[in-house]
Amino acid sequence: MTLMSMIAAEFAKLARSLSWTVVVLLPAAMVLAGALSSLVAGQQPADGWHTVWLRSVVFYGLFPLAIGVAVLGSLVWRAEHRGGNWNALMSTPVSSLRLVAAKTAVIAALAMAMQLVMLLCVTVAGKAVFALPGMLPARYLLISGVIMLATVPLAALQSGLSMLLRSFAAPVAVAFLGAGASTVLLLAEIGPIVFLSPYALATRATQLGTGTFADGGEIAGATVGSLLAATALLSLVTIAGAAAILDRRDTRT
Amino acid sequence: MSSYIVTTDHLTKRYGERAVVEDLNLRVPEGCVYGFLGPNGSGKSTTMKMLLSLIRPSSGQVRVLGEPMTRATRRRLLGRIGSLIESPPGYGHLTGAENIGLVRRMLDLEQRQIDLAVRTVRMQDQMDKKVREYSLGMKQRLGIAMALARQPKLLILDEPTNGLDPAGIEEIRRLLRHLADGGVTVMVSSHLLGEIDKTATTLGILAGGRLLFQGTRAELFAAATPDVLIGTADPQRAQALLSGQHDARIDEGLLRLCGLSPDATAQVVSHLVRAGLGIYEVRRQEQSLEDVFMDLTGGGGL
Ligand SMILES: Nc1ncnc2c1ncn2[C@@H]1O[C@H](COP(=O)(O)OP(=O)(O)O)[C@@H](O)[C@H]1O
Ligand SMILES: [Mg+2]
């Protein structure tokens, strides 16, 4: 009943799951859309890798990332809401905290895999479509690392919503609204919102080092530090909150 | 009192104003097969969910395996309790083997325990099929195997024979006896007496959320008063004479009175004799267990 065996069990449930399709298709579509808009305009990306990154990752961070994680959350919890699975799950000696943590870990891992696919697709687009010189600069690997961590609270929140709501679409709708509101607040340069909203945190992380929205264009140590602090804080609060709710809740009929 | 593996005291569950389970004092002896009977909607599933702390009682207590079952203790206790509530579990997109493999991983069990559980429900030849392709009976058996894999002291099965054909029902019955012989206490619910009648050593009968009877089969027979049958020359007149005091029916030429105590029987007979009616015979008719069950539960909702 260790957390690791729980996580292993959760990954085993993903066999033949639609989740993997989402993980590959969503980032690929984002990069493709970005590349197409450049091609249609008949321009080479003005700032090379930077422009390709902007057009795919920053746009992805505005709301498709939140929607993608929400869909993954609903896919991961969907089977638990079917037939006798909920009763069986709640009749195991596994603690609510472990269960919530394991589900969050799986959804976060899928979200992180999306960022890896994103890196791959951006590289392919830069080389194969635009024949950019050199490789994707290393700074984007660092940025991707921060993005991957910053999606953990988002995964925890969407996991919690999909745990509580039997509906597939409702948590996705919440993500859409949450990401929209957070983007407005980021546009208004209300920085501390990343400590309150997992949507804002993930979106802000995708803007790191790009100079868009409130970003200065540098990978500033203070910015990365506050993003990581917000990640740790929101992850703990969200996971603990979801576990406490699950522990108090009655099973539904 | 340690001979009881499950006890409840004044166990009650209310939804709004409505008590769905009321003032239940269950006593489940260790090592028995406890048949938990009641019509649909009588509160069997709700009670079993409270025994597992899947839902919390509105009032009253549950003790399982000698300890109070609460949200604080449930995770520890649930390691020794196998259960199947309402519908069988299983992930349709995975095979039977993959499904029970999840249980092995989550509970850190050994493959030997898994194989034993699968063989016990005779599912060893079906494990490579996707659960989506299983019949209901196969799903029930896989669900029972999942519950058994942890080698529980107590097994709680909610209507495991629901939707099964007679052969499937017989198979489950045999399984329950086999488990009880192996020292597992089994609590099994049904809305049909016939399905668990011969398997259960102790019966609890629920109707409208209240426990109407709890005890052995023999005690159930003893508790039920058999109908009194009176043979007389003029049953119509006898019925008219008794009207207002007793609910007498005419049944194949005999007068039938139910729930009559020995004293009341004597009074009825002397009343009829004083009215000048010839009495040919007075006897009590043994009831089948089915009749007793129907009488107790009012035959409602079956
Ligand atoms: N969550 C709930 N909210 C309101 N009523 C409920 C709920 N769960 C069960 N009930 C009611 O409680 C009664 C008993 O249900 P249940 O325990 O499922 O009966 P059984 O298992 O004996 O068929 C039913 O009338 C049902 O409608
Ligand atoms: Mg039921």
Q: Would residue A61 count as lying in a domain?
A: yes
Q: Dihedral sign, CA of B128, B131, B135, B137?
A: positive
A170 CA to centre of ligand 2 in angstroms: 29
The helix-helix angle for B235-242 and B262-274 (nearest 10°) equals 120
pLDDT at position B2 is 54
For residue A16, list chain B residues with Cβ-Cβ distance below 8 A: 93-94
Give yes or no for B98 touching A (CB within 8 A).
yes
Contact yes or no for B107 and A93 at CB 8 A: yes
Q: Would residue A65 count as lying in a domain?
A: yes
Q: Would residue A253 count as lying in a domain?
A: no
Give yes or no for B86 touching A (CB within 8 A).
yes
Least confident of A42-46, B89-93, B109-113, B259-263: A42-46
Contact yes or no for A250 and B55 at CB 8 A: yes
Contact yes or no for A8 and B98 at CB 8 A: no
Is ligand 1 within 6 A of the CB of residue B44? yes
List Cα–Cα distances, A165 to A114, B55, B249, in angstroms: 24, 18, 56
Q: Which domain holds residue A234?
A: 3-247
- Hey, is A199 helix, strand or coil? helix
Is ligand 1 within 6 A of the CB of residue B85? no
A-B contacts at Cβ under 8 angstroms: 90
Q: Which amino acid residue places its CA nearest to atom 25 of ligand 1? A: B41
Give yes or no for A3 touching B (CB within 8 A).
no
Numbers of helices and strands, H then E, in chain B = 11, 15
Q: Of B222, B291, B298, give the one whose Cα is nearest residue B256.
A: B291
pLDDT tops 80 at residue B267 = yes
Which residue in A1, A92, A249 has the most chain B C-beta atoms within 10 A of its own C-beta, making it the best mutation to test that interface? A92
Give yes or no for B252 touching A (CB within 8 A).
no
Residue of B nearest to A253 (CA): B86
**Beta bridge partner(s), residue B255:** B230, B250
Other beta carbons within 10 angstroms of residue B105's beta carbon come to 19
What beta strand segments (E) does B16-88 contain? 18-24, 27-29, 33-37, 59-64, 67-68, 81-84
B157 CA to centre of ligand 2 in angstroms: 10
Is ligand 1 within 6 A of the CB of residue B82? no
pLDDT tops 80 at residue B55 = yes
Question: Hey, what amino acid is at A233?
Answer: L
Give yes or no for A4 touching B (CB within 8 A).
no
Q: Give the ligand whose atoms come closest to the C-alpha of residue B162.
A: 2
Per-residue confidence band for B301, with pLDDT thresholds at 50, 70 and 90 = very low
Contact yes or no for A8 and B85 at CB 8 A: no
Torsion angle of C-alpha atoms A200, A203, A204, A208, degrees rounded to 10:
170
Closest ligand 1 atom to B15 CA: 4
The string of pLDDT tens digits covering residues B214-249 is 999 888 877 777 889 999 989 999 999 888 888 888
Out of A12, A85, A93, closest to residue B78 by CB = A93
Least confident of A124-133, B40-49, B93-102, B192-201: B192-201
Report, as an integer, the average pLDDT of B71-90.
95
Q: Would residue A167 count as lying in a domain?
A: yes
Pocket test for ligand 1, best of B11, B15, B85, B302 (most atoms within 8 A of CB): B15
**Can you say whether residue A134 is alpha, beta or left, with left for phi > 0 and alpha for psi between -120 and 50 degrees?**
left
CA–centroid distance for B72 within its chain: 28
Torsion angle of C-alpha atoms A223, A226, A228, A234, degrees rounded to 10:
-140
Number of domains in chain A: 1
- At residue A165's C-alpha, the angle toward residues A252 and B84, to 5°, is 30
* Chain B stretch 135-174, residues whose beta carbon is closer than 8 A to a beta carbon of chain A: 143, 146
For residue B75, list chain A residues with Cβ-Cβ distance below 8 A: 93-95
Q: Would residue A125 count as lying in a domain?
A: yes
Structure tokens at B265: 């029987």
- Hey, is B208 helix, strand or coil? coil
How far does the CA of residue A167 sit from the closest CA of chain B (Å)?
A: 18
pLDDT tens by residue, chain A, 253 residues: 588 888 999 999 998 889 999 999 999 999 999 898 888 887 777 788 999 999 899 999 999 999 999 999 999 999 999 989 999 999 999 999 999 999 999 999 999 999 999 999 999 999 998 989 999 999 999 999 999 999 999 999 999 999 999 999 999 999 999 999 999 999 898 889 999 999 999 999 999 998 888 788 888 889 999 999 999 999 999 999 999 999 999 987 5
Other beta carbons within 10 angstroms of residue B115's beta carbon come to 15
Helix or strand run (H / E) with residue B169: helix B166-181
Closest ligand 1 atom to B13 CA: 12
Contact yes or no for B55 and A251 at CB 8 A: yes
Q: Which amino acid residue places its CA nearest to atom 11 of ligand 1? A: B20
What ipTM did this prediction achieve? 0.87
CA–centroid distance for B208 within its chain: 14
Give yes or no for A82 touching B (CB within 8 A).
yes
**Can you say whether residue B231 is alpha, beta or left, with left for phi > 0 and alpha for psi between -120 and 50 degrees?**
beta
Q: Would residue A33 count as lying in a domain?
A: yes
pLDDT tops 60 at residue B1 = no
Contact yes or no for B94 and A8 at CB 8 A: no
Give yes or no for A138 touching B (CB within 8 A).
no
